[in-house]
Homo-oligomer: A and B are copies of this chain.
Amino acid sequence: MDQLIHGRPYHEGEDGPIFRPCAPHSVLERLGDKWTILVMSHLAIAPGYRLRFSALKGGIEGITQRMLTRTLRNLERDGLLKRHYFPEVPPRVEYELTAMGASMLPALEGFTAWIRDNWPAIEESRSTYDGAKR
């Protein structure tokens, strides 16, 4: 069975710990895609953590219908989001963070806080690195 160190699961090999592709990756992979964080952010500040499709589309600069749909489906699949469909004409669809989705916000904000604090240093490091390469 895997052990835990610093909260990370690993397997004890002959020459030390061996890490494997893991659960955290499969969640970070979602959040790391192009639009997920913006969808989450928009829902995070909405009343009742709830918005309709057109509101999300209008509130995220540059997102296409196709990509918004895909992003929402992925979040729904993970259980972070619930889709509410109203069969009217024209149809109305609202998306709402689930309890689990909302429970992620504090942890996510803790992490994005670090990013905000360190973003200037990261940007500078990148441009220095890229500059030195040329």
Contacts and interface: CB of A to CB of B under 8 A. Distances in A.
Interface in A113-134: 113-116, 118-119, 121-122, 124-126, 129-130
Contacts of A105: 6
Interface in A1-55: 5-8, 10-11, 13, 15-25, 27-34, 37-38, 41-42, 44-45, 55
A33 B31 CA distance: 10
Contacts of A104: 114, 118
Given A100-B121, A130-B77, A59 B18 contact: yes
Contact of A19 (B17, B24, B61): B61
A30 to B, nearest CB: 7
A16 to B, nearest CB: 6
A87 interface: no
A115 B24 contact: yes
A101 to B, nearest CB: 10
B29 A32 contact: yes
Contacts of A122: 27, 78-79, 100
6 contacts: A10-B41, A17-B42, A20-B60, A21-B38, A23-B119, A77-B125
